[in-house]
Amino acid sequence: MNISDNLNTLLQSLPSHVTLVAVSKTKPLEDLKAVYNTGHRIFGENKVQELVSKWEALSKDIQWHMIGHLQRNKVKYIAPFVHLIHGVDSERLLKEIDKQAAKNNRKIPCLLQIHIAQESTKFGLSDSELEKILSEKETYPNIVFKGLMGMASFTSNLQQVSEEFAFLKALYDRAAANMETFDTLSMGMSGDYELAIAQGSTMIRVGSKIFGERNYS
Ligand SMILES: *Cc1c(COP(=O)(O)O)cnc(C)c1O
């Protein structure tokens, strides 16, 4: 298994309108450097502490994406540098990101996470919560609303996964009609990114297919 080969094979298979976030959570710096040395600059992490320490250790031209569940009290640590926050799923979190963005004199690009899976454990907004937030978007002058993110059910039922992605795409299209800053629909991981792209994804978050299986022990 060779990380840079995995990355290049994947990149060559992607349509040009799809952006790849290389999900490097739990992986050591040398694995990230292997990807960096191929020229790729977009990385995703799901834990604030790990994101900050990798940002400190690696080249400053990397675009760091926060893809995991974000706690309000940790926003301040990533606000100075984060390129895109994928998992925004509450008004309270949005308010905190807006506040920390202002403190850092920047606007922070965010994706609103929508609950599309059958499992009750996955985070995310309902469509009515989404509508409410977007109708109050002026409340958050330091946030750039870039689009939506979702995670499909963890199931081998491909029909179900496709339907969940299609649901999110329809929601995205409806919202984007009134949101001139929308340009990103983040859906698809190692196991389902092809289905996601077929349903209109513009950004995929892929970890194990590039870096190999994660070892949490
Ligand atoms: C870990 C993770 C991914 C990548 O998962 P793989 O199956 O390894 O590609 C994508 N999105 C989120 C939110 C994750 O936490």
Any idea what the CATH number is for the domain that residue 173 is in?
3.20.20.10
pLDDT of residue 97: 98
Residue minimizing CA distance to atom 7 of ligand 1: 190
Report helix, strand or coil for 196: helix
pLDDT of residue 59: 98
Q: How far is the CA of 23 from the centre of ligand 1 (A)?
A: 6
Judge whether 152 lies within some domain.
yes
Q: How far is the CA of 197 from the centre of ligand 1 (A)?
A: 16
Those residues whose C-beta lies under 8 Å from the C-beta of residue 208, and which sit 6 or more positions away, are 190, 214
Judge whether 216 lies within some domain.
no
| Residue 149 CA, closest ligand 1 atom number | 13
Does residue 217 surpass a pLDDT of 70? no
Q: How far is the CA of 207 from the centre of ligand 1 (A)?
A: 6
92 pLDDT tier (thresholds 50, 70, 90)? very high
State the residue for tokens 């922070």.
108
Mean per-residue pLDDT, 167-184:
97
| Residue 206 CA, closest ligand 1 atom number | 9
In whole angstroms, what is the distance from residue 90 CA to residue 108 CA? 16
| Residue 25 CA, closest ligand 1 atom number | 1
pLDDT of residue 121: 67
pLDDT of residue 118: 82
Q: Give the domain range for residue 189.
A: 3-211
Mean per-residue pLDDT, 21-36:
98
Q: For strand 63-66 and strand 84-88, is the pairing parallel, antiparallel, or unpaired?
A: parallel
pLDDT of residue 216: 72
Q: How many domains does the chain have?
A: 1
Q: How far is the CA of 176 from the centre of ligand 1 (A)?
A: 25
Does residue 208 surpass a pLDDT of 80? yes
Strand partners, 143: 108
Q: How far is the CA of 203 from the centre of ligand 1 (A)?
A: 12
pLDDT of residue 119: 77
Does residue 93 surpass a pLDDT of 90? yes
In whole angstroms, what is the distance from residue 186 CA to residue 201 CA? 6
Judge whether 148 lies within some domain.
yes
Residue minimizing CA distance to atom 12 of ligand 1: 67
Mean per-residue pLDDT, 180-197:
98
Inter-CA distances, 118 with 127, 131, 150, 163, Å: 15, 21, 12, 11
- Report yes or no: 210 and 6 within 8 Å, Cβ to Cβ: yes
Helix, strand counts (H, E) of the chain: 9, 8
Judge whether 217 lies within some domain.
no
pLDDT in tens, 120-173: 766 899 999 999 999 999 999 999 999 999 999 999 999 999 999 999 999 999
**What residues line ligand 1, using a CB cutoff of 6 Å?**
23, 25, 46, 67-68, 189-191, 205-209
Candidates 54, 65, 64; CA nearest to 31 is: 54
pLDDT in tens, 98-128: 999 999 999 999 999 999 988 776 689 999 9
| Residue 189 CA, closest ligand 1 atom number | 9
Judge whether 46 lies within some domain.
yes
What integer best gives the mean pLDDT of the chain? 96
